[in-house]
Structure 1
Amino acid sequence: MSHVFTVLLLVIFAVIVTTSQFVGSPIHCWYPAEFKPWYEKYAEQYCWISNTYFVSWAEILPVDVSVRTDREITYYQWVPLILAFQALLFKVPNIVWKMLQSGAGINLNKVVDMADLTQTGSFEGREKTIRHLALYLDKWLDTERSYNYGRLVQVRDKVTRFCCFICSKRSGTYLTALFLITKVLFLANVIGQFFLLNAFMATNYNMFGFEIIDYLKKDAPWKESPRFPRVTYCDFQIRQLQNIQRWTIQCVLPVNLFNEKIFIFLWFWFFFIAALACFNFFKWFYIFALKRNRVSYVKKYLTISSQLQNSFDKKLCHRFANNYLRDDGVFVLRVITKNSTDIVTVDLLMCLWKIFLDKQNKGRRSNIDSEGTINPHEKQPLTAAEEKEREAMAS
């Protein structure tokens, strides 16, 4: 909604305003009778590139030049540029995400594409792709672990356990923290758009939409807005030899007919996008901040595939989610689920679960061997009693 639809919408509005400015005349002025045709063309060009000012019909035209200068409208020439700049700002968070996500050591787009391809391939090809994807994720999870458990590493792990905004590959929180930061950028951008338009139009744009709603409730005929006036005034001077003549002419700005409707619509659109961005951020923050959400997500899919048979398996599932997959691993699975189907996630998690169990069994056997206990998989030398028994049986 932010980096695709809003960008497209702003670009379309910029094209409309640009067309209205350069196709035909963006300003028309009413001149005194003594003005010659070349005076008229000069006056229109001057009033367009400089600024006009607004005075309502109920007011008297100010005599003081400084008062007229304070009322100048300075934005309408730059509306296409500000709309294009707003479109760029809405795209920036997505650009940040695209540029920095590769720092996690995994190509997330290719992983999602590979998972999506499993839905259209043959059964044998699907099983092979799922297996390769599971092995790839396992290698990635092992590569990004910490193998030096010093004091600093322990402190870092404790901090990342309570703060989900710290990007740490070794702690398994790089992608999740970057994702939350991107969500914050989307939210900050759309809120900042209101203040940007405040500064650009030199008006209180924050309350513009509420004023429109209040005005519509009164069921009154639509009146000209002081923010987007159609009839304005322009002062300019003409030098004739040593004489300087000052003229005030009345002009009409047809472009403000488009600007008013565009910025009314943008206020409500930005308000809608801000509400969505706020909801989306707090939803993902709740998912990442509570560690039990990570375990429950994994347990749901392992239960579907009937991998959790007893209480020991359920306890092992906590170690699988917290120590093996960690935040980034579960996040990748969430992304795969949203871009493919739950069936792919079930099969992929089942393969990862089996890889995890194999590693647990190997680790248990290596621990037994290191403690001096007999390993049943290795051939042990016979004792003296066993040697005599063997000879008696042979005879």
Structure 2
Amino acid sequence: MDQKFPAASDRKDMISYYRWVPLILLCQGCSFYLINILWEFLIKKSVINCEEIVNYAQECNLKDKNRETKLSNISQHIFDLFQYEFPANPKFYNNGYCMATFYLIFKFLNLINCCLNLWLLESFLGNDFLPYGFTAFLNIFNSLKRNELTRFPRVIMCDFNIRTMANENNKTVQCVLMMNMINEKIFLFFYFWLWFLAIVTFINLFYHFGICFCRSYQTEYIFVHASKKDRSEEFIKFSQHFLKPDGILLIKFIRQNAGGRITSDIVKDLFEKYLAMAPLALPSKLEKPLNLIPTNLIAPTAPPLPKSIKYEETPKRKNLPAILPFKRCSAFV
């Protein structure tokens, strides 16, 4: 109360973001939504319809007398996706790296988006917004008063004019901004939420990069869903050269949404189909041998196919039979 009001020429509008708060929140929401739309657009370019496959895998978890039939159908469908090429689609969409590449791009864009949102708040709310959240928590733990946080003041000085018959009277009074109590909580939440998303997305990006593109991590991840007798060198070839990054990522999606039991059954069925087709133009040696399994665990040799079949001239199917009762499957378009 003993402080003097500053002169009119010395006062500046230091707080100008109140009118922009709804627009800031709208821009933040749209930025995350646009990235999600981009992901849906990119995933449709792949020959793998993850949503339909995952939904069908979830149905296999239900107690149904046709469970084995459904399991066989979905395994055959996935096997056909990775066995055949689809001439109607560009080569990149059939090489086994398309969906995994798009997924990593999606994760990277989310990380960049979190950083851009922090920069946006820094630009609109002032140059000291980045340390704002930590300052707020320090003040709370140090039992400081809430009004000592100057980022969202609750009491300010307001100038207004009163017109009379002869002249105008300029008045300066104290104003209480109750809206700042809400704004403070909103932006404090967004501050820590954006930092949390940025850190988790950064870790998740490297985790999925290792699973999809590091051969040792690929095999270790698929080994979790294989029985001990199946953990052979042929199984390593199956995970690295047949499933490839797209197949590994698809297996991960199925596990997250349908559970480990159905995932293990699908992997087992896929591996059995792979062994039956083993003589077909598949890589005979690994680029880097992996010592992940005991040497005595060797899968049985697949039965030989008729000699009349020319394996190097495997025909490409333009249209596969509709095995699964899907409403739409990009693999068959």
- TM-score, normalised to structure 2's length? 0.74
Indicate the residue corresponding to 2:276 in structure 1. Answer: 358
| Structure 2 counterpart SS, 1:232 | strand
The residue identity in structure 2 corresponding to 1:354 is: E
Indicate the residue corresponding to 1:220 in structure 2. Answer: 144
Q: Check the 8 A contact 2:160/2:171 in 1, yes or no.
A: yes
Q: 1:84 to 1:369 in 2, by over 3 A?
A: closer
Q: Check the 8 A contact 2:82/2:243 in 1, yes or no.
A: yes
| Structure 1 counterpart SS, 2:130 | helix
Indicate the residue corresponding to 2:72 in structure 1. Answer: 131
How big is the shift at 1:237?
6.2
Indicate the residue corresponding to 2:259 in structure 1. Answer: 341
CA distance in 2, matches of 1:319, 1:274: 35
CA distance in 2, matches of 1:92, 1:330: 26
For the pair 1:326 / 2:269, whether they are aligned, the reply is no
How big is the shift at 1:339?
0.7
Indicate the residue corresponding to 1:78 in structure 2. Answer: 20
Give unmatched runs, 5+ long, in structure 2: 282-303, 312-333
For the pair 1:115 / 2:46, whether they are aligned, the reply is no
How big is the shift at 1:354?
2.1
CA distance in 2, matches of 1:225, 1:58: 21
Q: Check the 8 A contact 1:145/1:171 in 2, yes or no.
A: no
For the pair 1:293 / 2:217, whether they are aligned, the reply is yes
| Structure 2 counterpart SS, 1:251 | strand
Q: 1:318 to 1:145 in 2, by over 3 A?
A: farther
Q: Check the 8 A contact 1:116/1:340 in 2, yes or no.
A: yes
Q: 1:58 to 1:293 in 2, by over 3 A?
A: farther
The residue identity in structure 2 corresponding to 1:206 is: L
Q: 1:321 to 1:129 in 2, by over 3 A?
A: same
CA distance in 1, matches of 2:199, 2:305: 54
For the pair 1:99 / 2:41, whether they are aligned, the reply is yes
* 1:187-214: CA deviation from partner (whole Å, max 9, x where unpaired): 2222322211111222411000121233
| Structure 1 counterpart SS, 2:230 | coil
Q: 1:280 to 1:250 in 2, by over 3 A?
A: same
CA distance in 2, matches of 1:179, 1:199: 30
| Structure 2 counterpart SS, 1:360 | coil
Stretch of structure 1 that moved more, 328-337 or 318-327: 318-327
Q: 1:268 to 1:104 in 2, by over 3 A?
A: same
CA distance in 1, matches of 2:4, 2:234: 82
How big is the shift at 1:234?
3.7
CA distance in 2, matches of 1:289, 1:60: 67
How big is the shift at 1:247?
5.2
* 1:75-95: CA deviation from partner (whole Å, max 9, x where unpaired): 112323322322222333333
Q: Check the 8 A contact 1:288/1:294 in 2, yes or no.
A: yes
1:1-395 aligned at under 5 Å gives the runs 60-63=4-7, 65=9, 67-69=10-12, 71-123=13-65, 125-144=66-85, 168-235=92-159, 248-303=172-227, 306-308=229-231, 314-361=232-279, 365=305
Stretch of structure 1 that moved more, 324-333 or 189-198: 189-198
Q: 1:219 to 1:317 in 2, by over 3 A?
A: same
The residue identity in structure 2 corresponding to 1:68 is: R
Bigger radius of gyration among the two: 1
CA distance in 1, matches of 2:203, 2:139: 29
Higher helix share: 1
| Structure 2 counterpart SS, 1:169 | helix
Q: Check the 8 A contact 1:144/1:172 in 2, yes or no.
A: no
Q: 1:129 to 1:58 in 2, by over 3 A?
A: farther
* 1:93-114: CA deviation from partner (whole Å, max 9, x where unpaired): 3332222211111221110010
Structure with more contact order per residue of length (Cα contacts < 8 Å, sep ≥ 6)? 2
Q: 1:142 to 1:60 in 2, by over 3 A?
A: farther
* 1:265-299: CA deviation from partner (whole Å, max 9, x where unpaired): 33233333333222222222222231111122333
The residue identity in structure 2 corresponding to 1:282 is: F
CA distance in 1, matches of 2:179, 2:32: 25
CA distance in 2, matches of 1:233, 1:212: 23
- TM-score, normalised to structure 1's length? 0.64
